[in-house]
Amino acid sequence: MYDFTKPVANLVNELRKIPGIGTKSAQRIAFYLLKTDKEKVMALSESINNAMEKTRFCKICNNITEFEICEICEGKGRDITKICVVEEPFNILSIERTGLYKGMYHVLAGNLSPIRGVGPDELKISSLERRLNSGETEEVIIATSPTIEGNATAIFLFDLMKRKDIKITRIAMGLPIGADLDYVDSVTIAKSFEGRIEFK
């Protein structure tokens, strides 16, 4: 049966390994790359190499950084008594964009997932515990996703830390702003009831 010419089929296969890229997207990206000027593709190649060579994980929080310690861990004017635990480095940017949180972060580099073979040792949990032992931390805000795996990770972290004299919180789950109640799933509505806040 007819298929792409081999180098293209290989490229499509390689692209499909990237999470979130399915066959159709991989095909589109492959043909975009083949149609585009060599210089533009080289610019992409270079930026990949550059990012891989120049970046590493922050020794404290596992954020991606150009230096030994990331901008936030190094940064002045941040509240060192709070640590917000996130799954991935890009979660930090999402939270920073709110402009609301001025504490520190800790990147787990994933969620617990027995199915995918990700246990506590695969995540950056022991380095979080070491940070908490320093005694500076007053609150740990668990900001893993409201998914099965994100919740399991949150519960695991809570069990691990509850004996320490530290306030442990979880970001609120509820209706997203602008949502129409009729179009929100019932689990979310249930969560928004459970987490309801008194008018003051």
- Quick note: the x/- pattern for its own copies over 57-76, rule CB under 8 A, is -------xxx---xxx----
CB of 2 to its own copies, least distance (A): 4
- 176 belongs to the binding site for its own copies (CB under 8 A): no
Q: Tell me which stretch binds its own copies (CB under 8 A): 83-91, 133-141, 144-152, 192-200.
A: 83-91
Tokens coding 154: 């949150």
The span from the CA of 96 to the CA of 93, in Å, is 5
Does position 88 bind its own copies by CB under 8 A? Answer: yes
State residue 72 phi and psi, 5-degree precision.
-75, -45
Token reading at 168: 């442990």
Task: Work out whether strand 56-57 and strand 64-65 pair parallel, antiparallel, or are unpaired.
Answer: antiparallel
| Cα–Cα distance measured from residue 87 to residue 61, given in angstroms and rounded to the nearest whole number | 11
Please tell me whether residue 179 adopts helix, strand or coil conformation. Answer: coil
Among residues 86 and 161, whose Cβ is nearest to its own copies? 86
| Binding interface with its own copies (CB under 8 A) | 1-8, 10-11, 13-15, 17-21, 25, 27-35, 38, 40-41, 43-45, 47-55, 64-66, 70-72, 88-90, 92-93, 96-97, 99, 109
